[in-house]
Amino acid sequence: MLKWIILSVLVLLSPSLSADQGLQALTVTSNADGSQEYSVTLQVLAIMTALSFIPAAVIMMTSFTRIIVVLAILRQAIGLQQTPSNQVLVGMSVFMSIFIMTPIYNQVHERAIQPYLNEEMTSLVALEQAKEPIKAFMLSQTRVKDLETFAQIAGITQLNKPEDAPFTVIIPAFITSELQTAFIIGFMFFIPFLIVDLVVASVLMAMGMMMLSPMIVSLPFKIMLFVLVDGWSLVMGTLAKSFGLGS
């Protein structure tokens, strides 16, 4: 798909490139094995085209989805509608994702980026080498049931091992598993605050204070409970350990 996008852009830009005599840099070299290697200018163009897919890749192929869903459920459980704000939650999720994905990036850098910069492998080989650590990370967090479901939808009747599944199957299975895990963790965090709400509502009803909203009374108690148990450290530690860190 990316190659077709690049070729379409080149066709659209070809008149202006010819006028500026810039076509010399836009070369495609055929390798002995039939693969193609693009010039530096085309590689830059490909990178600029791929930038539009980076947000989706960051959200859907890393730990970001699980973290942001859990934090959103936690905020709802406490009863704070806008605190922390969406910007704070997204920022926390981004930097937690960087922390969790750093070992994966180090593997990609060691196996693909550095050899490619040292001209020890071609861009296509580097791309294949970079995919392996990311693929291994996603498979480690993907449920077999979800992987089999999307494999069946894609028409793949037999998978000898999960590593044989293509990225087009692994990515939606990974996202589905991440949402499932995020809801499970969010449910576990929700229960203590729900108990506080039930206790406060029962006490107010027993006292005959029907007109007083239980949410107003329970909110300070839930915040106090969250602070006393060192809630933020507990939440962040649980999220990190859910990806296998520190275990």
Closest-CA residue to 244 (of 137, 162, 108): 137
Closest-CA residue to 172 (of 153, 197, 150): 150
Predicted confidence band of residue 34 (pLDDT cuts 50, 70, 90): low
Least confident of 22-36, 39-53, 75-89, 140-154: 22-36
How does the average pLDDT of the chain come out, rounded? 78
Closest-CA residue to 149 (of 172, 167, 166): 172
- Residues 64-85: pLDDT tens digits? 999 999 999 999 888 887 888 8
What pLDDT does 125 receive?
A: 80
The SS3 of residue 81 is: coil
What span, in angstroms and rounded, lies between the C-alpha atoms of 80 and 96?
21
The answer on pLDDT for 18 being more than 50 is no
Please give the model's pTM, rounded to 2 decimal places.
0.74
What pLDDT does 1 receive?
A: 44
What pLDDT does 148 receive?
A: 85
Which residues share a beta bridge with 135?
A: none
Averaged pLDDT, 177-200: 89
Share of the chain above pLDDT 90, in %: 9
The SS3 of residue 6 is: helix
Least confident of 49-53, 153-157, 159-163, 182-186: 49-53
